[in-house]
């Protein structure tokens, strides 16, 4: 189970739910339902981490909930 913050929102432009992981640049997925987007992003997080390991890129440690001013 990952511990990265996941932000899920409805996109009128894409006509789907979009899930993003702010701590992992470019890590995003979509789905026709909230739960589909959540399921898809879990797969993408794993793939993002595997790709970073293979290419020697640093993998950010999960910070948990982000705080905005």
Q: Where are the domains of the chain?
A: 7-55
Confidence (pTM): 0.85
DSSP state of 33: S
The mean predicted confidence, pLDDT, of the chain is: 92
The two three-digit tokens of residue 57, written as one number: 């890129």
Condensed to tens digits (0 to 9), the pLDDT of residues 41-65 reads 999 999 999 999 999 999 999 986 6
3-state secondary structure of 60: coil
Query: For residue 69, what pLDDT is reported?
Result: 47
Q: Which CATH number fits domain 7-55: 3.40.50.620, 3.30.390.30, 3.40.50.300, 3.30.160.250?
A: 3.30.160.250
What values do phi and psi take at 20, rounded to 5?
Answer: -130, 150
Query: For residue 63, what pLDDT is reported?
Result: 83
Portion of the chain with pLDDT greater than 90, in percent: 83
């Amino acid at each position: 189970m990952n511990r990265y913050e996941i932000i899920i929102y409805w996109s009128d432009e894409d006509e789907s739910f979009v899930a993003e992981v702010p701590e992992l640049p470019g890590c995003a997925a979509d789905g026709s339902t909230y739960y589909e987007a959540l399921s898809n992003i879990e797969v993408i997080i794993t793939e993002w981490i595997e790709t970073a390991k293979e290419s020697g890129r640093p993998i950010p440690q999960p910070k948990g909930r982000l705080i905005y001013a």
